[in-house]
Structure 1
Amino acid sequence: MTHSVLCLGEAVIDFIPVQAEGGAAYRPCLGGSSYNVARALGRLGVPTEYGCAVSTDLFGDQFVAGLTESRVGQRFLQRLEAPSTLGFVSLDQAEPVYAFYDESAADRICEAMPSGLALAGVGALHFGSIALIREPTASAYETLFLREAGGTRLVSFDPNIRASLVRDEAGYRARIDRLLRAADIIKISGADLDWLFPEISHEAAAADWLRHRARVVVITHGKDGVSGWSRVSHAHAKAIPTEVVDTVGAGDSFMAGFLAGLHEENLLTPETLGHPSAAALHQALAYGQKVASATCARRGADSPWREQIAPGGE
């Protein structure tokens, strides 16, 4: 694939707890789900663009520098005179817990989305996380998502749910359900799936989405590995033991690694994604696990470079 992946969503300064002289402190790190996916893809050698708005403040400058350093294109990036979103992270539970401060933040108020003509050269769009909760940006992203679904570009989706931020639960659930039925590639954690559909088995949910538009569905299970389904194959990849520093950005790194694995197999196009073999699907899942494992061994969402990780998987 020579076309790029365009990642659309929030950019957040994650304040990660660290031990410092005199007690606990917080270290600011670049973050935000789609921002993390974009940087990880760029580091893995996949042609990547990032689309959102970031502030003109000092944090916005850091976001831009992070994209540049990770070789991510910025032709869809907007700079707005508005604050940056700040997220404070607690690591006391199995999954990170966040408190966001985003009133009138740049990545929350942007509504200008690229036209079809502007998307020339883009082969896939990736959406997810709190960008689909916070208005007015959430509605703008949904409109773009549904406009592109079923067209000439793949649409990738990771809900990456932050339930504590949801105020209109019925409306949010309805939105996520619409998007899950329209996406080509779905990656979702077992915990998110249980929150959305507690009465439905994971296998049944995957089968239902595959009866709609999905071509590949991936469900992650933490230490129990990850499973993937297409319309013709199924695969599972084990978790990779690692000395965990923190799990911030692990799911985003897996998402990037999985997309990069599909890219390596020349499967990241509407023409080629339809019928991946079990071996190819496993290869992409295992590569995603390697990228996620390497990220867990670092502080914050600091994903590895391509040359630091072997392609494919066991």
Structure 2
Amino acid sequence: MILCAGESLIDMVPSPTGFTPLPGGAVYNTAIALGRMAEPTAYLWPISTDPFGEALLAPLHTAGVETRLCPRTDRPTTLAFVTLTGTEARYSFYDEGSAGRLFAQSDLPVLPASTAALFIGGISLVPEPCGTTIETLAECAHALGIPVMIDPNIRPFFITEIPSYRARLDRLIALADLVKLSQDDIDWLWPDTPPEELMTSLLAKGPKAIFRTLGAAGAEVWWAGGCLSLPAQPVEVADTIGAGDTFNAGVLAALRQSGALGRRGAAPGQIALNETNLRAALTLGIKAAALTVSRSGANPPWADELARGQP
């Protein structure tokens, strides 16, 4: 199975009457997307016993995502108020003292023997103690030979301690096998750095592949064999909420299906990537993201929708 560990929250999405509460969170969305793709998936993050916590669990269960690893707590659920500029989403977070924010290392379970990959990222990497907890989990997975994928999915206004955050991200990139970066991430982290120079330097740190998403221009992957680019699928965009998260799910699903993720217990970094399985990963990631942006909110496609290729 693929284990997704990171934030879940309630997106307060603009509506004609104010805001509509919808389950969300970058890593949560990826878990939902993987489950809907019929991939064996588990989710790890503290879930509140408040009504919003129950609202978060229901879509996971409907998608077939395993939630037994999730600690339950009476602390409140994180809220994120969404504003849309055109079709682009921006977020304001209410997170202090929340269920996820206080995720502690003592809450970490033993990684199940069936874990084929660990996916982390989003705002769960930023504050404490949850940032350290997720980093510890990634270190454990790496030591066990479990491939790690990271998507920082940066929200600049949420990052108050920039040097500490950059240092953590450097450490996590060094132990990750797969890294996904949006152009917004790159512009914030490494402004004015030429793409080839940046990707070469990142690969030298340890990752085996760097995925770069370019919105309407498609996506690309850089690895030891060079760079592979594919165009976006033409689609009428409703909004971009959850697009990158769904792309991540497509990448992981395709790599697991091809056998590229290797086996637990292999030496760290023993992930079998080549042009064929990376092309399949890009293709499924782009296709899944296109279906997501064609409808409002974080609403990833189901396996039958992907098979049809229609929203």
Q: Give the number of aligned pairs.
A: 304
User: Compared with structure 1, are the counterparts of its residues 311 and 169 closer, same or farther at alpha carbon in structure 2 (3 Å cutoff)?
Assistant: farther
Secondary structure, counterpart of 2:71 in structure 1:
strand
Whether 2:104 is the aligned partner of 1:107: answer no
Paired with 2:281 and 2:67, the residues of 1 have a C-alpha distance of 26
Deviation at 1:150, TM superposition (A): 4.8
Secondary structure at 1:40's aligned position in 2? helix
CA distance in 1, matches of 2:124, 2:19: 24
Alignment of 1:158 onto 2:151:
yes
Taking the aligned partners of 2:222 and 2:308, their CA distance within structure 1 comes to 21
Determine helix, strand or coil for the equivalent of 1:108. Answer: coil
TM-score, scaled to structure 1: 0.91
What amino acid does structure 2 have at the position aligned with 1:27? Answer: T
Rounded Cα–Cα distance in structure 2 between residues aligned with 1:57 and 1:250: 28
Structure 1 pair 19–133 and aligned structure 2 pair: CA distance change class (3 A): same
Superposed counterparts of 1:75-94, under 5 Å: 75-92=68-85
State the partner residue of 1:303.
300
Return closer, same or farther for 1:236/1:273 CA change in 2, 3 Å cut-off.
farther
1:157–1:185 CA contact under 8 A, matched in 2: yes
> Partner of 1:119 in structure 2?
112
* 1:182 corresponding residue in structure 2: 175
Q: Select the residue among 45, 49, 62 that pairs with 2:55.
A: 62
- C-alpha deviation, 1:311, in angstroms: 8.8
Range 201-210 or range 77-86, more displaced: 201-210
Aligned equivalent of 2:280: 283
- How far apart, in 2, do the equivalents of 1:47 and 1:54 lie? 20
TM-score (norm 2): 0.92
SS at match of 1:217: strand
Aligned to 2:14: 17
Q: Deviations over 1:122-148 (max 9, x none)?
A: 121111010011211111111222232
Q: Quote the residue 2:249 is aligned against.
A: 256
Shift of 1:186: 0.4
The secondary structure found in structure 1 opposite 2:273 is coil
Asked whether the 8 Å contact 2:243–2:292 carries over to 1, the reply is yes
Kept after mapping to 2: 8 A contact 1:215/1:273: no
Comparing 263-272 with 100-109, which one deviates more in the overlay? 263-272
- 140 and 51 in structure 1: CA distance in 2 versus 1, 3 angstrom threshold: same
Q: Distance in 1 between matches of 2:56 and 2:279?
A: 33
Gaps of 5+ in 1: none
Matches of 2:25 and 2:275 in 1, distance apart?
A: 32
CA contact (8 A) 1:226 1:237 kept: yes
Looking at structure 1, the residues matched to 158 and 308 of structure 2 have their Cα atoms a distance apart, in angstroms, of: 36
Q: Which amino acid aligns with 1:61?
A: E
Alpha-carbon distance in 1 for matches of 2:277, 2:308: 12
Query: What are structure 2's unaligned runs of at least 5 residues?
Result: none
In the alignment, which residue of structure 1 is the partner of 2:225?
232
Q: Kindly indicate whether residue 148 of structure 2 is the aligned counterpart of residue 148 of structure 1.
A: no
Name the CA distance, whole Å, in 1 between partners of 2:180 and 2:116.
Answer: 18
The alignment partner of 2:127 has SS state of: coil
Q: Deviations over 1:20-74 (max 9, x none)?
A: 4xxxx21111100110000100111111000000110111011111110010001
> In the alignment, is the contact (CA less than 8 A) between 2:145 and 2:270 conserved in 1?
no
Residues 87, 239 of structure 2: 8 Å contact kept = no
Q: Percent identity, please.
A: 38
Letter in 1 for 2:304: E
CA apart distance, 1:203: 2.3
Alignment partners' CA distance in 1, 2:308 and 2:254: 8
- AA aligned opposite 2:62: E
How far 1:155 sits from its partner (Å)?
0.6
Say if 1:14 and 1:29, in contact at 8 Å, map to a contact too: yes
Q: CA deviation at 1:113?
A: 4.4
Question: Is 1:208 the equivalent of 2:205?
Answer: no
